[in-house]
Amino acid sequence: MTVKIFDTPEVQDFLTTVAGFDQDGGNERTKQIMHRLLSDLYRLIDDFDVSEEEYWSAVNLLNALGSQTQFGLLSPGLGFDHYLDMRQDAIDAEAKRSGGTPRTIEGPLYVAGAPQAEGFARMDDGQDTDGETMWLTGQVRDVEGNPVAGAKVEIWHANSKGGYSFFDQTQSEYNLRRTILTDSEGRYTARSIIPSGYGVPVGAPTDVVLKALGRHGERPAHIHYFVSAPGHQHLTTQINLAGDPYTFDDFAFATREELVVPARRSEDAAEIASRQLDGPFAEVVFDVELAKTDAPELQVRHKRPRAMEDEQDQASQLAGTARV
Ligand code: DHB
Ligand code: FE
């Protein structure tokens, strides 16, 4: 027995009422999008003959995702973040904006307001004794190969257990999060620890969804970047360390061929001494190329809710007030 009621005038009229089309108030775009979304879902219920049990278990799962603030985690797993990147790439191509290091997803774990340094920063607090020392360095250049001095390089990554400070309360404030301004040669350098891959918490609602699809929730070891400079297009990207079992099997679909970077292990005494390190280290080199743009809106990251971002805005406004 398969009933099909979607195309009846009764259901179609009902949808226009639900979407508020017969009301003066509200927001027109919201109404249009909600009407389309509900239409697609109503049709799906008809086409797949969705049972009441299935429907209410989906509602329950959405409640669980929301109550544990996991939509931001599920979003990359369902490919939305990568899909938005594909659209931005297409928008750039259509506007004939080419060149520059490829973008890839921001992920849900950025925190605004990390300490800022010029040229060099140590990112780890020294507490993670399982972490292998990482020497992370690179040069920011424009598309003609000229170094960009004073570029803002924001870097954040996980610890040796795959956890991010702020979200993992066992870590110190802003551990493994820094903003580095490039030196006169466009270079930035960080001393940190090699991150481990990240896994969606086992048994969490995001994991439930992925398991139902026969998928895993693992990411390869990776390092996030925001890079910006006046006159250049803001870049959101990340590097994936080569050789991780998940480098090309990332549940968040962030890997891009150009962004896979090796870690070079060194036990050379002279190399250790020149970096003022106390033992063997792994060097990761990531040069960044920024595309040029005059458009101010392309020089800054897009708006989205981010941890501590409102607090930072308030703090800088207060600092501005204090100066006058
Ligand atoms: C997720 C975690 C990350 O560290 C990341 O970079 C992207 C996505 C996640 O849990 O969805
Ligand atoms: Fe991440």
Question: How far is Cα 221 from Cα 198, in angstroms, rounded to an integer?
Answer: 7
**111-120 burial, b if ≥16 CB within 10 A, otherwise e?**
bbbbeebeee
- Tokens at 268, concatenated: 């050379």
Q: Compute, in angstroms, the gap from residue 4 CA to the centroid of ligand 1.
A: 40
Ligand 1 atom at minimal distance to the Cα of residue 158:
4
Ligand 1 pocket by Cβ (under 6 Å): 73, 76-77, 107-109, 198, 200, 219, 252
Q: Compute, in angstroms, the gap from residue 107 CA to the centroid of ligand 1.
A: 5
SS3 content of the chain, % helix, strand, coil (to 5): 30, 20, 45
pLDDT beyond 80 at 97: yes
**4-42 burial, b if ≥16 CB within 10 A, otherwise e?**
eeeeeeeeeeebeeebbeeeeeeeeeebeebbeeebeeb
Could you identify the residue written with the tokens 């971002």? 309
Ligand number nearest CA of 76 is 1
pLDDT band at 323 (very low <50, low <70, confident <90, very high): very low
Question: How far is Cα 250 from Cα 242, in angstroms, rounded to an integer?
Answer: 12
Question: Which residue has the CA at smallest separation from atom 8 of ligand 1?
Answer: 107
In this prediction, residues 228-243 reach a mean pLDDT of: 97
- Strand runs labelled E in the chain: 116-118, 120-122, 133-142, 152-157, 177-181, 187-193, 198-199, 218-219, 222-228, 235-241, 260-261, 264-266, 281-285, 288-290
Residues of the chain with pLDDT > 70, as a percent, come to: 96
Ligand 1 atom at minimal distance to the Cα of residue 222:
6
Question: Which residue has the CA at smallest separation from atom 9 of ligand 1?
Answer: 73
Q: Compute, in angstroms, the gap from residue 233 CA to the centroid of ligand 1.
A: 24
Average pLDDT, the chain: 96
pLDDT, position 316: 67
pTM of the model: 0.94
Pocket test for ligand 1, best of 69, 73, 74 (most atoms within 8 A of CB): 73
Residue 313 CB neighbours (<10 A): 12
Residue pLDDT, tens place only, 107-126 = 999 999 999 999 999 999 99
Residue pLDDT, tens place only, 196-206 = 999 999 999 99
Residue pair 317/311 in contact by the 8 Å Cβ criterion: no
Ligand 1 atom at minimal distance to the Cα of residue 75:
11
Question: How far is Cα 277 from Cα 263, in angstroms, rounded to an integer?
Answer: 16
Q: Compute, in angstroms, the gap from residue 181 CA to the centroid of ligand 1.
A: 25
**Could you tell me the CA-to-CA distances from 171 to 146, 163, 223 in Å, in that order?**
38, 9, 17
Q: Compute, in angstroms, the gap from residue 105 CA to the centroid of ligand 1.
A: 9
Residue pLDDT, tens place only, 3-48 = 999 999 999 999 999 999 999 999 999 999 999 999 999 999 999 9
